[in-house]
Homo-oligomer: A and B are copies of this chain.
Amino acid sequence: MTVTDELLANAERYAAGFDKGALPLPPARQVAVVACMDARLNPYGLLGLAEGDAHVIRNAGGVITADQLRSLAISQRLLGTTEIILIHHTDCGMLTFTDDDFKESIRQEVGIRPPWAAEAFPDLDEDVRQSVRRVLEDPFIPVKGSVRGFVYEVETGRLREVK
Protein backbone atom coordinates (compact mmCIF):
# COMPACT_ATOMS: atom_id res chain seq x y z
CA MET A 1 0.00 0.00 0.00
CA THR A 2 1.45 3.35 -1.09
CA VAL A 3 1.01 6.69 0.64
CA THR A 4 -1.09 7.63 -2.40
CA ASP A 5 -3.51 4.80 -1.52
CA GLU A 6 -3.75 6.11 2.06
CA LEU A 7 -4.52 9.63 0.79
CA LEU A 8 -7.18 8.20 -1.55
CA ALA A 9 -8.93 6.75 1.49
CA ASN A 10 -8.96 10.28 2.94
CA ALA A 11 -10.45 11.52 -0.36
CA GLU A 12 -13.31 9.05 -0.03
CA ARG A 13 -14.10 10.45 3.40
CA TYR A 14 -13.98 14.00 1.99
CA ALA A 15 -16.47 13.06 -0.75
CA ALA A 16 -18.74 11.34 1.77
CA GLY A 17 -18.93 14.55 3.82
CA PHE A 18 -19.08 16.91 0.83
CA ASP A 19 -21.89 19.45 1.25
CA LYS A 20 -20.69 22.46 -0.76
CA GLY A 21 -22.67 21.78 -3.93
CA ALA A 22 -21.56 23.34 -7.21
CA LEU A 23 -19.55 26.44 -6.35
CA PRO A 24 -18.88 29.08 -9.05
CA LEU A 25 -15.73 28.80 -11.17
CA PRO A 26 -14.42 32.37 -10.48
CA PRO A 27 -12.79 32.71 -7.03
CA ALA A 28 -15.20 34.37 -4.58
CA ARG A 29 -12.50 36.50 -2.90
CA GLN A 30 -10.94 37.51 -6.25
CA VAL A 31 -7.46 36.75 -4.94
CA ALA A 32 -4.60 34.70 -6.42
CA VAL A 33 -2.02 33.35 -3.97
CA VAL A 34 1.44 32.40 -5.29
CA ALA A 35 3.36 30.36 -2.72
CA CYS A 36 6.21 27.91 -2.31
CA MET A 37 5.31 24.20 -2.55
CA ASP A 38 6.85 23.66 0.92
CA ALA A 39 5.00 21.06 2.99
CA ARG A 40 4.87 23.26 6.10
CA LEU A 41 3.14 26.16 4.35
CA ASN A 42 -0.63 25.55 4.26
CA PRO A 43 -2.28 28.53 2.53
CA TYR A 44 -5.77 27.38 3.55
CA GLY A 45 -5.02 27.28 7.26
CA LEU A 46 -2.76 30.33 7.17
CA LEU A 47 -5.05 32.68 5.24
CA GLY A 48 -8.34 31.17 6.35
CA LEU A 49 -9.29 30.17 2.81
CA ALA A 50 -12.22 27.88 2.12
CA GLU A 51 -13.20 26.03 -1.04
CA GLY A 52 -14.19 28.55 -3.70
CA ASP A 53 -12.24 31.50 -2.27
CA ALA A 54 -8.97 31.93 -4.17
CA HIS A 55 -6.64 30.62 -6.83
CA VAL A 56 -3.58 28.97 -5.30
CA ILE A 57 -0.47 28.75 -7.49
CA ARG A 58 2.59 26.98 -6.09
CA ASN A 59 6.03 25.83 -7.17
CA ALA A 60 9.50 25.23 -5.76
CA GLY A 61 10.38 28.51 -4.05
CA GLY A 62 7.18 30.36 -4.85
CA VAL A 63 9.25 32.11 -7.50
CA ILE A 64 7.71 33.84 -10.49
CA THR A 65 8.57 31.99 -13.69
CA ALA A 66 6.84 32.01 -17.08
CA ASP A 67 4.34 29.43 -15.79
CA GLN A 68 3.28 31.63 -12.86
CA LEU A 69 2.85 34.57 -15.22
CA ARG A 70 0.70 32.35 -17.47
CA SER A 71 -1.40 31.23 -14.51
CA LEU A 72 -1.82 34.79 -13.21
CA ALA A 73 -2.81 36.07 -16.66
CA ILE A 74 -5.48 33.35 -16.89
CA SER A 75 -6.56 34.01 -13.29
CA GLN A 76 -7.12 37.71 -13.88
CA ARG A 77 -8.25 37.78 -17.51
CA LEU A 78 -10.61 34.81 -17.54
CA LEU A 79 -11.61 34.40 -13.90
CA GLY A 80 -11.66 37.92 -12.51
CA THR A 81 -9.06 37.95 -9.72
CA THR A 82 -7.68 41.39 -8.88
CA GLU A 83 -5.28 40.93 -5.96
CA ILE A 84 -2.03 38.92 -5.77
CA ILE A 85 -0.38 37.58 -2.61
CA LEU A 86 3.17 36.19 -2.95
CA ILE A 87 4.52 33.96 -0.15
CA HIS A 88 8.04 32.66 0.38
CA HIS A 89 9.09 31.15 3.72
CA THR A 90 11.97 30.69 6.16
CA ASP A 91 14.11 27.51 6.04
CA CYS A 92 13.35 27.19 2.31
CA GLY A 93 15.14 24.46 0.37
CA MET A 94 15.91 27.02 -2.34
CA LEU A 95 18.32 28.73 0.08
CA THR A 96 20.44 25.56 0.38
CA PHE A 97 21.96 25.18 -3.08
CA THR A 98 22.97 27.07 -6.21
CA ASP A 99 21.55 26.61 -9.71
CA ASP A 100 25.00 25.73 -11.05
CA ASP A 101 25.73 23.03 -8.47
CA PHE A 102 22.27 21.46 -8.74
CA LYS A 103 22.30 21.38 -12.52
CA GLU A 104 25.87 20.08 -12.62
CA SER A 105 24.97 17.25 -10.21
CA ILE A 106 22.09 16.28 -12.51
CA ARG A 107 24.35 16.44 -15.54
CA GLN A 108 26.84 14.13 -13.89
CA GLU A 109 24.11 11.58 -13.11
CA VAL A 110 21.82 11.84 -16.15
CA GLY A 111 24.25 13.07 -18.77
CA ILE A 112 22.03 16.03 -19.72
CA ARG A 113 21.90 19.50 -18.18
CA PRO A 114 18.28 20.51 -17.42
CA PRO A 115 16.94 23.24 -19.71
CA TRP A 116 15.29 25.17 -16.85
CA ALA A 117 16.76 27.63 -14.36
CA ALA A 118 16.54 26.00 -10.91
CA GLU A 119 15.64 29.43 -9.40
CA ALA A 120 17.60 28.94 -6.16
CA PHE A 121 18.17 32.16 -4.19
CA PRO A 122 20.58 33.19 -1.42
CA ASP A 123 18.48 36.02 0.13
CA LEU A 124 14.88 35.37 1.13
CA ASP A 125 13.53 38.92 1.36
CA GLU A 126 15.33 39.95 -1.82
CA ASP A 127 13.77 37.05 -3.72
CA VAL A 128 10.31 38.09 -2.54
CA ARG A 129 11.04 41.55 -3.95
CA GLN A 130 12.36 39.94 -7.15
CA SER A 131 9.10 38.00 -7.49
CA VAL A 132 6.95 41.08 -6.87
CA ARG A 133 8.95 42.98 -9.50
CA ARG A 134 8.56 40.16 -12.04
CA VAL A 135 4.78 40.44 -11.64
CA LEU A 136 4.78 44.22 -11.80
CA GLU A 137 6.89 44.24 -14.97
CA ASP A 138 4.82 41.60 -16.81
CA PRO A 139 2.81 43.12 -19.66
CA PHE A 140 0.14 40.38 -19.72
CA ILE A 141 -1.16 40.74 -16.13
CA PRO A 142 -3.67 43.59 -16.26
CA VAL A 143 -4.45 44.39 -12.58
CA LYS A 144 -1.52 45.37 -10.34
CA GLY A 145 -3.09 47.60 -7.68
CA SER A 146 -2.55 45.02 -4.90
CA VAL A 147 0.56 42.88 -5.42
CA ARG A 148 2.14 42.20 -2.03
CA GLY A 149 4.97 39.91 -0.95
CA PHE A 150 5.39 38.02 2.33
CA VAL A 151 7.65 35.65 4.23
CA TYR A 152 5.95 32.86 6.18
CA GLU A 153 7.94 31.89 9.27
CA VAL A 154 7.71 28.09 9.52
CA GLU A 155 9.05 28.23 13.09
CA THR A 156 6.33 30.52 14.47
CA GLY A 157 3.42 30.39 12.01
CA ARG A 158 3.76 34.14 11.47
CA LEU A 159 3.34 35.90 8.10
CA ARG A 160 5.62 38.93 7.65
CA GLU A 161 5.26 41.45 4.84
CA VAL A 162 8.36 42.30 2.79
CA LYS A 163 8.56 45.97 1.81
Give the B-binding residues of A (Cβ under 8 A).
Answer: 2-4, 7-8, 10-15, 17-18, 20-23, 25-32, 37-42, 44-60, 65-71, 73-75, 77-79, 83, 85, 91, 93-94, 96-97, 102, 105-106, 110, 112, 114-119, 139-140, 146, 148, 154-159, 161
Contact = CB atoms under 8 A, between A and B. Distances in A.
Contacts of A115: 66
A21 B153 CA distance: 11
Given A4-B148, A14-B45, A85-B7, A70 B40 contact: no
Tell me how many chains of this kind the complex includes: 2
Contacts of A8: 159, 161
Contacts of A21: 155
Contacts of A66: 65-67, 115-116
A24 B10 CA distance: 23
B69 A67 contact: no
Contacts of A15: 156-159
